[in-house]
Structure 1
């Protein structure tokens, strides 16, 4: 089977992996000149289905529960499995209880254990929630590793390529996000900062339940922290706004004052494609299969959606094979 995957974001890369793993000859076409620069490039990389369940529907938890295992197998050594720590200032204790009431998979932690988990946060928070089964990865490392692994196994990549009118493939897998021709999609703008400070460290993603502007801080290498993120109903991919910059920095400072002296080494904006119900879909239109609507859950849900797309295509082909075999038997009879 010859498969064309359109788009080299996280949906396209995971789809290419699933189809190649099942024996398809896969080509990936991407309009950007190189890997990166899309919404996936600016993601947090949190594999946190129980945390996401607080504001998402049950399918997000169901689809994302095995994501860390998938990434472990596809990109060995990149997933950190240290859980997620959710915190709130003492005055916002109600936010912590509200968060807990909407999800599962956590245990409550008190001030002493918070200090053991994250020594640099000692004395700053009295209560929290630890989600021990969750993990995270660096999206850029994961995308590069997946690209290199696919290329090494024979998947062809064409960057700077317009695949609008490409023929000669048995299936096309459309993973183009907001560029897809789908009237149901809307854009959700996410803004992020990367801060660098040697004055603190974190071992795992930390979510601060600020009542006005919730924030997450994800540790990266070289004393860097990804700080995010906004969720603005907009298709604008322009630079980070002054308002968002102030909100992100202010909440980061509330997490730890060391962020007040941190270097701002990067700002970024990604526009995530979302359906009205904020749930992803695999849709079929003839020989074209579309994976879209990953919303803010790209690295968490892409593996499951890629598996769904591959299952659909290969089951369709098997059905066709059986139909041809039956027709041949009838003619012979």
Structure 2
């Protein structure tokens, strides 16, 4: 079976792998001239299904609990399994209790254990939650590794290509996100910063709970940190706003004052496709299967949705929807 995958974001790349691994001849068409520039490029890369359950449906946990295993198997060495640490200032202790009541898979940690887990946070927080089974990755490195894996498997990439003008395939997998022709989609803008601060080291993502602007800080290599993210109902692809910049920097400072001296390496904004229920969908219509609505859970949910899309592509007898 010859399959055309439209889009080289995380949904398209994971779908291409699942199809190629089952024996399909796969071509990936991407209108951009290389990896990057899409919502996946600006993602946090947290494989945190238990934390996400705080504001997401049970389905997100069910679909995402095996994501770290998938990334470990397909792109060995990309996922770091160090868990997630959730903390709050003493005045926001109620936020920590609320978060704990809405999630599972965690244990409470005190000030001493926080200092053992993250020495640079010693003395800054009295209580926290550790989600030991969660993981994280660098989205850009993971996408590059997956691209190389696919190329080695014989997957053809056509960058700078408009998939509308490509024909001759038995199936198409539409992974174009906000560019898809789906009136049920809405855009959710997420803004992020990448800071570099040699005086701070973190071993795992740290989430700082705040009633107004919850923050996460995800460690990268070379003392770089991804700080995110806003959640704005907007399809604007413009630069990070001054207000968001100040809020994100202020929250990073609240996590550790040394971030006030960090270098701002990059700012960015991605528009994440979402349906009204914030849940992803895999839909089959004719010879096309669409993956969309990954919302803020791209790297977490893409492997499960890619498997569902591959199932439909190989057993496509009637129009159906899988959630």
| TM superposition score normalised by structure 1 | 0.95
Once residues 227 and 316 of structure 1 are traced to their aligned partners in structure 2, the CA distance between those partners, rounded to angstroms, is 41
The residue number in structure 2 matching 1:197 is: 197
Q: Is residue 166 of structure 2 the alignment partner of residue 166 of structure 1? A: yes
Output aligned runs, 1:1-333, within 5 Å: 1-316=1-316
Q: Is the 8 A contact 2:87 2:127 kept in 1?
A: yes
Q: Is the 8 A contact 2:33 2:159 kept in 1?
A: yes
Q: Is the 8 A contact 2:46 2:136 kept in 1?
A: yes
Secondary structure at the counterpart of residue 164 of structure 1: helix
Offset of 1:313 from its aligned partner? 1.8
Once residues 214 and 88 of structure 1 are traced to their aligned partners in structure 2, the CA distance between those partners, rounded to angstroms, is 10
The Cα offsets for residues 121-143 of structure 1, whole Å up to 9 and x where unpaired, read as 00000000000000000000000
Q: Is the 8 A contact 2:287 2:316 kept in 1?
A: no
Any gaps of 5 or more consecutive residues in structure 2? Answer: 319-323
**Which structure's CA Rg is the greater one?**
1
Q: Which runs of 4+ in 1 moved over 6 A?
A: none
Once residues 78 and 145 of structure 2 are traced to their aligned partners in structure 1, the CA distance between those partners, rounded to angstroms, is 9
Secondary structure at the counterpart of residue 316 of structure 2: helix
- The count of corresponding residues between Structure 1 and Structure 2 is 318
Offset of 1:37 from its aligned partner? 1.1
The Cα offsets for residues 206-232 of structure 1, whole Å up to 9 and x where unpaired, read as 000011110000000011000000010
Offset of 1:316 from its aligned partner? 2.9
Any gaps of 5 or more consecutive residues in structure 1? Answer: 320-333
Q: Is the 8 A contact 2:111 2:125 kept in 1?
A: yes
Once residues 313 and 169 of structure 1 are traced to their aligned partners in structure 2, the CA distance between those partners, rounded to angstroms, is 12
| TM superposition score normalised by structure 2 | 0.97
